[in-house]
Amino acid sequence: MLTLLRKEINAFLNSVIGYVVLVVFLVVNGLFLWVFPLDFNILDFGYANLDGLFMLAPFVFLFLIPAITMRSFADERSYGTIETLFTKPLTDLQIILAKYFAAVLLVAFSLLPTLIYYLTVYHLGLPKGNLDSGAIWGSYIGLLFLGASFAAIGIFASSLTDNQIVAFIAGAGIAAFVYLGFEFIYSLSFFGKADLFIKSLGISSHYASMSRGVIDTRDVIYFLSVIAFFILLTHFVLGRRKWK
């Protein structure tokens, strides 16, 4: 499994799209946080915090993480190597997890350079270090969980097709619905007392909870459940080949 994990990471880093994805993530966040005169701009906001990063990053992830995962199984299907892959001395679940953890490691790697923003804001504060570090680290943990959830969704989308573009669109669409769809349904107030339950089904409310700096067990269990659900769906989809 570790061999396949390394192979997946190397395949990503050896491709142009890998570096494009990482550069786009950093450039988009950098422009909105430091250059463009919008609500996300840290210097214009006048307070030492990184709220802009944690509001913006999930929307960037909605597109970049499906770009990372779209080739996971779609490429294997397209090139006819998926059957060879499953003849390796690994279970289906181990193969899925190797590809999944490779995607999660790349998401974590893309977040590391943003720690420069934390150090910058730390030194810009008056007095120096005058920022809510607890909320920031909680937001980073929430963002990592969110990225891991999107990665599971992207892996699932890639297992459905042999076309990378279709896998990308499906991954981005499903991730957008799980992140924002339940929030939208909640805003319609159609379900009365069940509205809050509907809202709690979406990633957005749990991510917002972690962003306040409080790591609630319920939020952690929610993210782990979303990840497990889409990993098991992927396992089910790929397992159908044995029924034919």
What pTM was estimated for this model as a whole?
0.88
Cβ pair 105, 22 in contact under 8 A: no
Percentage of the chain lying above the pLDDT 90 cut: 25
Each domain of the chain, given as residue ranges in start order, spans: 2-243
| pLDDT less than 50: residues of the chain | 243-244
pLDDT for the residue 47:
67
- Among 142, 139, 164, which Cα is nearest to 66's? 164
Range list of H helices, the chain = 2-13, 16-30, 42-45, 51-69, 74-78, 82-85, 92-111, 115-124, 133-159, 164-176, 182-188, 195-200, 203-211, 217-239
pLDDT for the residue 242:
55
Strand, helix or coil for residue 138: helix
Q: Compute the distance between CA of residue 64 and CA of residue 150 in angstroms, rounded to an integer.
A: 10
pLDDT for the residue 3:
75
pLDDT for the residue 225:
95
